[in-house]
Amino acid sequence: MAEKINKEKDCSTFGLRKINMIADKKNIAIPDFRHTAPVDQVGVEERASRFTKRSIKKETKLNGLLLALNMIDLTTLEGKDSDGKVKQLCYKAMHLHDAYPGLPTVAAICVYPSMVKVAKAALGDSGIKVAAVATAFPSGQSSRAVKLSDTRFALANGADEIDMVISRGKFLQGEYNYVFDEIAAIKDACGDTRLKVILETGELGTYDKVRKASEIAMYAGADFIKTSTGKISPAATMPVTLVMLEAIRDFYYATGKRIAMKPAGGISKSKLALYYLVMLNEVLGEAWMNNHWFRFGASSLANDILMQLEKERTGVYQSPNYFSID
């Protein structure tokens, strides 16, 4: 925010620009928490489990599996990631299982900033996006300057999407303005590049805090809100995702602006992915049922879906050995 205000001063001589900036500033005020409804733990968990009572069969199942596959952010976020590993992953993203004709690709590859250039080159014009986790991922324990430069580095290498982490420590200290300003600053650096804001819900402790963090992120300019880094357990759960989807819905009704959702970590089975789609469909409706507005952050989900698709096609389950791991 501080930087933003400086900018305003710099351009104060250009009348028009200044008006725009003020308008922008007005748009990104911190949310008024007096209007945020509390979340009842028992109730939200009960509702989330109700989605798992849906029985998804035949055509619905097939369409759901294909859609889920197309929503995956295929992820590798390890210290030992190398050019070779990332190239392999990119190839997998483009050719999930060539034995099955007509499969969609995944939505994106999610890597560290240092791997963006390799991934970009490997993916070429496949249409698969490259998402980079920036801002001192996964802990976020660094200075604003480092986070901004991390983000700019990823952008400069061609990242299509930035996945940032919020400062959970500051959030739990009650410094909501700090968290808000930080997200706004990163979004400012991103420009039109879509920003995913990772709340790391496993560290927040309550659903009320998840709701609050979701609102801070959305009002600060997030394009996506995302549950987890995948480095903390628990990662995404259905109730947490439900709380965030409801926050997105309320934000949409309040502002008319759509925000996308990305649960990440812990979703490795097709059946669970289908229940997430049921939940998405019943909370946000059909407009969100595509990979522009919803993603799964996952590494092993893709192969489980492929196994299910082959089972639907051939009638028998096949050994995991028939599906490439990378």
Report the residue number, 18 or 54, with the smaller CB distance to other proteins. 54
Active site residue 81: no
Report the residue number, 17 or 54, with the smaller CB distance to other proteins. 54
Q: Residue 10: which H helix or E strand, with range?
A: helix 2-10
Told to check if 60 binds other proteins by CB under 8 A, we report yes
Nearest in space to 111 (alpha carbons), one of 184, 160, 181: 160
Nearest in space to 301 (alpha carbons), one of 48, 59, 51, 71: 71
Report the residue number, 132 or 280, with the smaller CB distance to other proteins. 280
Residues paired with residue 133 on neighbouring β-strands, in sequence order: 163
Active site residue 262: yes
Residue 200: helix, strand or coil by DSSP? Answer: coil
Residue with tokens 């051939």: 314
Q: Which residues within the stretch 275-294 sit at the binding site for other proteins (CB under 8 A)?
A: 278, 281-282, 284-287, 289
Told to check if 249 binds other proteins by CB under 8 A, we report yes
Q: How big is the site for other proteins, counted in residues (CB under 8 A)?
A: 31
Told to check if 65 binds other proteins by CB under 8 A, we report no
Q: Put residue 300 in one of left, alpha, beta given phi > 0 → left and psi -120 to 50 → alpha.
A: alpha
Told to check if 40 binds other proteins by CB under 8 A, we report yes
Nearest in space to 112 (alpha carbons), one of 81, 84, 91: 81
Told to check if 46 binds other proteins by CB under 8 A, we report yes
Residues identified as active-site: 163, 226, 262
Query: Which residues here bind other proteins, judged by CB under 8 A?
Result: 37-40, 42-44, 46-47, 53-61, 246, 249, 252-253, 256, 278, 281-282, 284-287, 289
